[in-house]
Each structure stands twice: as structure tokens, then as C-alpha cells.
Structure 1
């Protein structure tokens, strides 16, 4: 009798565990949220209200504030010493003294997370960088990002913080901007710094935009030691617009693995329940 009870308990635990695994995408990132933008339903969340550094995910807000200002997209902006990263000392292939149309800097900031491009966009905003940061925080409040704060346009400062829940709102709002959808999902792009080196090729920092199995509308990666590896996207999965936010993925490929696990999980559950 005891053996029968024990066998029943083992079988129950195993089946329950298997069911739990089936209904959980097994996200490795420290914080995450998966959100259906069509019916505004949260499909999955993990530490979604934990305030964390967001690194270059910041650049989605940079793009929205830049576009909201309706500044001339073809206006040439010159990279200056003020745009050089003195905080983290990250490198850039945009030389000081080279000039680019504003829309080119916006594309490079979004697709390739070019820090000097994002710094220049903030610096050349009416009123300068300080006014730009104020506009970022006002925009955050306007779209309901209640636990977020921005201190620069690049995300290099770990004082740029948010939550997975707030970033789902940021991604959804970004999806309303045609240039953000186009620029953030550009696979590769060439720019000319105007010197003898010729054209520079930039590639998207999110390898999934090259993957034909993905239909991505908005994409942004981020990385800082303090933030880990981050990834946010809006993608069409099983015919639904799904926002995916993944924060603090320490493994080099973890955020990509998590995104693929989310996609597979949603597709696998599509027949069993509405997502």
C-alpha cells in the first residue's frame, strides 16, 4: 500500500512538474516580461517591477524624444569631443570632426547602439543635453513609466533605470514611430565618415533581425556591467504582436536563447490557450 502511495506521489509530481515546464518558458534573464500588445495581456513576468539599470535600451527613449521634436532629419551634425565617452571609455568608429545627417545618427544609435551618435542627438537638441534629459523623463511619465529615470541619452550611465514592466510600455510606444521600426531592425548599413577610410559598415546588434523565422517590428539591445545583457523587442508571434523584455542576462547568448524560448513557448501554447 505504501509503495502504491509512493508511486502515485512520484507520478503526480512528475506530471505536475512537466505541466509547469510546459506553461513556463524557463527564462534565464533576471527580470522579464512578455506582453500581448493587441489585447494588453501579460503572458509571463519575472521580477517585472524590479528597478534595474537598462544600458542602451535607453536609446529607444532617445529616439522618441528626437522624433517628437520634429528636427530636420537631413541636418548635418558634427561629432565633437563632447560626444566622446569619458565615463566607460567605450570606443566608436565615428571620428571627432566627422558629420552625418541626423537621421543617420538616429539609425546608428538604434541598430548598432552607437554611443557617439546618441550623445550627439542629445547635445544638439534645443536647449542642449540637459533639456534633452528633461524631455526624456517627461516622455517617460507621459507613457506611464512610473519607475523609470533617465540621466543621459546613451545609456552608458547606470543611473538610467527602469523595470521590465515599464520597458514594455516603452517598446509599445516606440512601435508607433515608423523610423524607429525601420532603423531598429535594419540588418546592416553603410556610412561615410568623410575621410580616406571610405565607408564603414554597421550591423544590427540583435542577431535575431537576420533570422527569417522572426518577424520583428522593434528591437534594441543593451549592455553594461551593471545591467548585464538586455534585449527588448516587439515581434509578431503566432499572428499576435508580442512585446518581449529581457533584463540582466549574464551569459553571452542568454538573451537570444530566452527570446527563442519565449517564441517557441508561445507557438506551442497557441493551440491550448489564447495568448
Structure 2
């Protein structure tokens, strides 16, 4: 039902406001906590005849950006006049929200054709509990969304480092320019982010830390801590982030195919072309290691490296193109060293060494890899060699989710695949080797990762499997064919975040 607002007349402007009464009906669907209202302020010269404002609350908030949280209802508004509208005039929007919300908030408007939502340049006024923006549209649908991962209202302290207009932020990338307001005196200063911090696990209410010089523009350093508001002026984003904006209802990833699976039930929570069969690169190695471990080897047994092991790799790539453990013919090391080299360092020659010392012929070994995949239900998966260097090693995200559950049931694979760093010395030469895990998400430590493997071939693109432990059970996230190494990690983290959000509602 449309509600016609009373008109308040001022010397130059008309202001309309809707006080929403029935907003509580939206609480379960949008997370709205209380009532809010909408004001539209405009110059009367915008119309050649008086205008009437119609506003309704829309209970359907479809296609909202998945990373945002609604803090108001959807408003559908229209300014109707019997006269003409002069498009040079804009409309000032003011939307009220209830409760204290310290996160970054923006007014989003919906495109009537695509249904997608896009943000307006928005100013948050936490002292009045409203946000404002400017639009040239005399009708449309809008909503206020908050980014739960970005804080813009809270406390700020200071530090001495560069002695300039700089800041440390955990929310905005280095190089971003932020306008910081002291909410007690309304003084402001523009600062450039040049460091990371404060640590919100220690200071949960700290929005930013300012260099001594910048802090002094807002208050006496003797104050120690002040209450501030942060407005982004220029936000630095990587090319990958720019290429995949997240103003969509589901993750926007560069991967050609991907999947999120709740391991406990096998339920696919979300997928993108998840049954598409393509080369899986080094994700192959987990299946090879599973076959090897099924032979019940002694991981402390000392074995001798043979050059033939890496010669198998060179059937598919040039020597300098293959990730390898730098050992020579006759070098001795333990089977455990080979195992960690294969999974932590993704060394192709180490995998072939495991095949050779497994007690199986190479043909038998490959037969077992394929038989396992079929028995597990990964029927669209096939291997021709154990490392992933061949483009004929094929699978799909859907199949690989099945494989992930099976291989990570082995505690050794779980442990080795999530090891950050492994060091050892070849026994005969005493040469030291240090291997670093190729999964950057594991190194970041943000998630409780209980299984991991990266992969890359030119023909496969960048591939990544990550399994995250949650209170609801393991979450498996897989992307095939991401456009770059950085994009692969970002794609996978987007999948993890979306999966965690979906699991929270289970």
C-alpha cells in the first residue's frame, strides 16, 4: 500500500518523511532491528507543478549483495507531478536506522532492468542515526546495507611512526585515503593508510589508529583515545577485486567452475558449473598420496632418490617448469620427507619417488588411483599420471568434493596438507631443505583449515581446495580455473565466507 506523506514547507525545499510502523515484519527476513524512516529533500524548481511523494515498504528484498546486511527495509518511492521534471536537479536522500551500528553503511539502489543493487556515495551520521546520499532518480527502490566486516565508527588512538598524515587500518588497503572525524568536536583530517592495525581481537572497538601528527589535528595527544567516524575518500583495490565486484546475491568469482559442500551431509550449498570436467593440475597429488598411504609404508624408512623419478615429469613440461625437490641421483631421505615434499611443496618428482617405492608398478599405481575415484563416486574423474602435470588428468569440482571427503579421512593427509612449513636434511649430503605451503589462506590463519591443496597448469588455470572446520561440520570449497594465483585465493575465500554464512542458517 502506498502512503502519501504530509508535506513540510521550508523556504527553499520540500522534505518528505515516512515513519515506518510495520518494519518489524521484516525482522526474520532482513535482520532489521527496529523502525526507520526516509526523507527526500529537493528544490521545488525541479518540477513545474507541485509533486506528491509516494512511499511503500517492500517486504521483498531479493538479490541483495551477499556480503551485506540490511539495516532498513526496502523503500520504493516515486515523486509524481502533473508538471515536467527538470533532470538537472537532484534529490537528497536521508534514511534513518535504529540502534548503534558501527559498520560501514551505504544506501543501495536497485536497477529496474537487471535487478542488481549498486551503492550511492553515502555519508553516515551516527549521532543522528541516519545516512544520506544524492540521486537524480525521481523514483526507485533503495535500502541501507551495512558491511559487517568493515568498521567506520569507534575509537581511535595514536602512534609515532612516519610523523605525517597517515593511519593504520584493518579494513582498508594501504594507499587508501580516509577522512577521519572527531565526533566530539567535528574536526576532520584526511589520512593515507600505510600500515595494518589495530588488532580487533585485542581492541574490538578501535576503528583506526592515527599517526601522532594526524591525531593532533583532531585532538590533543594527551586525550589518548577519541571517538571517530571514518569516511572512505579513495579506496585502493586490487585488479582482481575490481574485476569481481560483490554486488551480487551470490559470490562473483573468476573461477570457471566451483562448489561449496557441507561435508557432513554431502549437500551442495552453492555451485558454479560444478559438474564441468577440466584438468585439475596438482589437486591430483592428494589421490596419489592416498593410494601410497594405503600400502601402509614406514614413513621413517630411508630411500634413495633416482633421476628417473623426475624424468617422468619431463614428459609433460620442461625441466624448469616443474615444481621439484632439489635432490640428485643417489641422495637419501625418508619416505616422510618425500610425503611432505609432495604435499607441502607440491614437488612433482617427490610424487614419482613415492610411486616407485610403493611396491606397486606404475601401471598398478595408476589403476588404483582410478579405481578409488570410481569407487568413491567421482565417476567423471580420470588420471593418466600421479602428479597433475598431464592435461588428461580430469575431474570436476563436484567430483573433487567427493574425493576431498575420502582422502582427508586419512589423518596423515589432513596433517601434512595443512602443514605451514617443513624442513629436513638429505641424509647423505646433510643439505637443508625448507618447504612452504603453497596455500596462502593457510598461512593467513583466518580459518580453521583442516585440508588444503593448490594446483596450476596453463590449461587448468589456478585450482584450489580448502576444507574448513566449523561448529556445523567441515565446509569444502573448491575452485577450478581461476584467472590468477591471487584470484584463486580470493575466489576460495569468497566461497568459504559464503559457505559459512549459509551454514550459520542450518
TM-score, L = length of structure 1:
0.89
The aligned residue for residue 112 of structure 2 is 13
For 2:366, the equivalent position in structure 1 comes to 133
246, 257, 260: which one aligns with 1:34: 260
The secondary structure found in structure 2 opposite 1:155 is: coil
- Flag structure 2 segments of 5+ consecutive residues without an equivalent: 1-53, 55-76, 79-108, 118-144, 146-245
Q: Distance in 2 between matches of 1:11 and 1:245?
A: 31
Q: Which has the higher contact order (CA 8 A, sep 6+)?
A: 1
The answer (yes or no) to whether the contact 1:237–1:263 under 8 Å persists in 2 is: no
More strand by share: 2
Deviations 1:51-82 (A, max 9, x none): 11111100010111011111222222222121
SS of corresponding position for 2:409: coil
Work out the number of aligned pairs and report it. Answer: 270
Change (3 A) 1:25 1:76: same
For 1:91 and 1:22, the matched residues in 2 are separated by: 37
Q: Offset of 1:268 from its aligned partner?
A: 4.1
Counterpart in 1 of 2:357? 124
Equivalent-residue separation in structure 2 for 1:270 and 1:152 (angstroms): 36
Q: Please list the CA deviations of residues 191-248 of structure 1 after superposition, one character each: whole Å capped at 9, or x if unmatched.
A: 2124657311110010111122111111001111111111012112464311111101
Give the direction of change, closer, same or farther, for the CA distance of 1:243–1:267 in structure 2 (3 Å limit): closer
Say which is worse superposed, 86-95 or 13-22, in terms of deviation: 13-22
What do the CA deviations read for 1:152-198 (whole angstroms, capped 9, x no partner)? 11111111111111100111111210000100000001021246573
Task: Give the distance between the partners of 1:206 and 1:158, measured in 2 at CA.
Answer: 22
**Change in CA separation of 1:248 and 1:38 when aligned onto 2, cut-off 3 Å:** same
Q: CA deviation at 1:36?
A: 0.4
Q: Matches of 1:232 and 1:183 in 2, distance apart? A: 14
Structure 1 contact 172–234 (Cα < 8 Å) conserved: no
Question: Hey, what does 1:178 align to over in structure 2?
Answer: 411
8 Å CA contact retained: 1:55, 1:223: yes
CA positional deviation for 1:91? 5.1
- Select the residue among 442, 445, 448 that pairs with 1:209: 442
1:50 aligns with 2:149: no
- Larger Rg, first or second structure (1 or 2): 2
Correspondence list, 1:213-232, <5 A: 213-232=446-465
Q: Counterparts of 2:110 and 2:275 in 1: how far apart (Å)? A: 36
C-alpha distance in structure 2 between counterparts of 1:125 and 1:197, whole Å: 25
**TM-score in terms of structure 2 length:** 0.50
Q: 2:307 aligns with which of 81, 84, 106?
A: 81
Cα distance change of structure 1 residues 142 and 257 upon mapping to structure 2, 3 Å threshold: same
**Aligned position for 1:142:** 375
Q: Which residue of the partner structure matches residue 169 of structure 1?
A: 402
